[in-house]
Amino acid sequence: MKDYIIRATAAQGYIRAFAATTTNLVGMAQKTHGLYPVPSAVLGRTMTAALMMTIDMKSESHNLSIVLKGEGPVGNVVVVAKPNGRIKGYVDNPRVDLPLNPLGKLDVGTAVGKKGKLTVIKDLGLKEPYAGQVDLVTGEIGEDIAYYMAVSEQKPSAVALGVLVDPDASIRAAGGFIIQPLPGAPDELIDSIEQRIAKVPSVSTMVDEGKKPEEMLEAVLGSMDLKVNQRIYPVFACDCSRERLESVLLSLGEEELEIILKEDGKAELVCHYCNTVYNFDEKDIIKLIENART
Ligand SMILES: [Zn+2]
């Protein structure tokens, strides 16, 4: 089944809702980075959240980044998503292995760490990007994103994210949903949604059963006049290029480049997001030094 993300409204517009299936996308990330199961769940949950938060951005040139800096062994987690569904991301340590948590689930909270920061950066094409930061709550990512939305964006939200990994490390199911009551939504409405959320199966179970994003929202919202307004298809894709990495080298400055030339005679740069290797030989570095002088 093809992955996709939807944006919807329900209950006469009192509810905004987002839902995503991302099994193939997380599978691509798993293969690209050789992720172990827990880092797959970490990156998969973060990417799924980012896509749902990006879908209603106005321009294709805008983007949204989520950066998790926790004390856990997976290290930094970085994801950059565009409103057309293009997304890239990585974790510092793709080969973290941890025992299951007491609930028998992949221990995302320990991998990320319970102490640290969650930062969301929105590049809206303005002079300065918007950035909001909160402390991590549990490191489980869903709760952390919900906390960010309530505190930083004043949008109380229910956030559910899930990634199911098979014993051979391949991705079996991944997805998520976000439910946001708008100001003025009646208390009874919010109560009834909370009760339903507590009763529905986990996201990864629903995706594993073959549920589509619309069907997950129907399970959570019931007969609340669900209207789907937008749908996008996610792609795990990097936008790096030799030119971009040349400018990284150039930004080191003439002196630093002279040292590289003397000590190594070459430079090898690896893109964190897609692991593409870019090699610069002696001639390339001499050329860059000449450029750095002018
Ligand atoms: Zn790349």
Sorted by where each starts, the structural domains of the chain and their CATH numbers stand as 4-236 (3.55.30.10), 242-293 (3.90.1280.10)
Q: How far is the CA of 222 from the centre of ligand 1 (A)?
A: 42
Rounded distance between C-alpha atoms, residue 108 and residue 43, angstroms: 10
User: Which percentage of the chain shows pLDDT scores above 70?
Assistant: 100
What pLDDT is attached to residue 209?
97
State if pTM tops 0.85. yes
CA of 240 to the centre of ligand 1 (A): 4
pLDDT of residue 10: 95
Rounded to the nearest angstrom, the distance between the alpha carbon of 90 and the centre of ligand 1 is 10
Compute the mean pLDDT over every residue in the chain, rounded to the nearest whole number: 95
Q: pLDDT tens for residues 99-151?
A: 999 999 999 999 999 999 999 999 998 889 999 999 999 999 999 999 999 99
Centre of ligand 1 to C-alpha 205, Å, is 32
Which positions ≥6 away from 29 have C-beta within 8 Å? 35, 40, 43, 44, 47, 89, 236
- How far is ligand 1, taken at its centre, from the CA of residue 272, in Å? 7
The pLDDT-based confidence of 13 (bands split at 50, 70, 90) is very high
pLDDT at residue 240 is higher than 90? yes
Type of residue numbered 270 = V
Using the mean position of ligand 1's atoms as its centre, give its distance from the Cα of residue 241 in Å: 7
CA of 282 to the centre of ligand 1 (A): 23
pLDDT tens digits, residue range 153-210?
A: 999 999 999 999 999 999 999 999 999 999 999 999 999 999 999 999 999 999 999 9
For ligand 1, the distance from its centroid to the CA atom of residue 243, given in whole angstroms, is 12
Q: Kindly state the average pLDDT of the residues 239-253.
A: 92
- 283 DSSP β-pair partners: none
- Whole-angstrom distance, CA of residue 181 vs CA of residue 151: 15
The predicted pLDDT at position 116 comes to 98
Residue 24 CA to ligand 1 center (angstroms) comes to 19
Report every protein residue that has its C-beta within 5 angstroms of ion ligand 1: 238, 240, 271, 273-274, 276
Question: What's the 157 CA to ligand 1 centre distance in angstroms?
Answer: 33
In the reported structure, the alpha carbon of residue 126 is separated from the centroid of ligand 1 by a whole-number distance in angstroms of 25
Residue 66 has pLDDT above 80, yes or no: yes
pLDDT of 1 reads: 82
β-bridge partners, 121: 65, 131
What burial letters (b/e) apply to 202-237, b meaning 16+ CB within 10 Å?
A: ebbebbbeebbbbebbbbbbeebebeeeeebebebe
Q: Is 92 helix (H, G, I), strand (E, B) or coil?
A: coil
pLDDT given at position 293: 84
Say whether 268 sits in a helix, a strand or coil: strand
Helices (H), the chain: 23-33, 37-54, 108-112, 142-152, 187-199, 203-208, 213-221, 242-250, 254-263, 282-293
Taking the CA atoms of residue 101, residue 160, residue 216 and residue 91 in that order, the dihedral angle to the nearest 10 degrees is -80
Distance from the CA of 147 to the center of ligand 1, in angstroms? 31
